Amino acid sequence: MSHTPGPWEPDYWGDREIDIYSADGSLVCQMRGGSTDEEDDSEPDARLIAAAPELLSELKRMLSLWEEAIGYEKDWMDMGYPARAAIAKAEGGE
């Protein structure tokens, strides 16, 4: 199972109401309200969510280039574990 292809774009409407759509017009998610009355974090959260497909793609690309550059040396490969874990999490793995 894969995620909805990007790019994703936020559509701001109403007070603290944001919908995020894929390029084909499919609704990816809806956001309603911020975490507190004093601070509305809806817009920054929406930007982060909308950037998710590009972030995942670039992380994969950068990890691949980095692995090629270091020549798969054990000591350096361990440094890529957090990036690999983040990719696995985003793709539904552990």
DSSP 52-94: HHHHHHHHHHHHHHHHHHHTT-HHHHGGGHHHHHHHHHHTT--
* pTM for the predicted model, two decimal places: 0.75
Digit-coded pLDDT (tens) for 25-34:
999 988 886 5
* CB distance 16 to 32 below 8 Å: yes
Which amino acid would we find at residue 43? E
Digit-coded pLDDT (tens) for 43-64:
888 889 999 999 999 999 999 9
* pLDDT given at position 56: 94
Domain range for 66 is 8-90
* CB distance 2 to 90 below 8 Å: no
What does the DSSP 8-state code read for residue 91? T
Is residue 3 in some structural domain? no
Is residue 2 in some structural domain? no
Which amino acid would we find at residue 31? M
Strand partners, 89: none
Q: How many domains does one find in the chain? A: 1
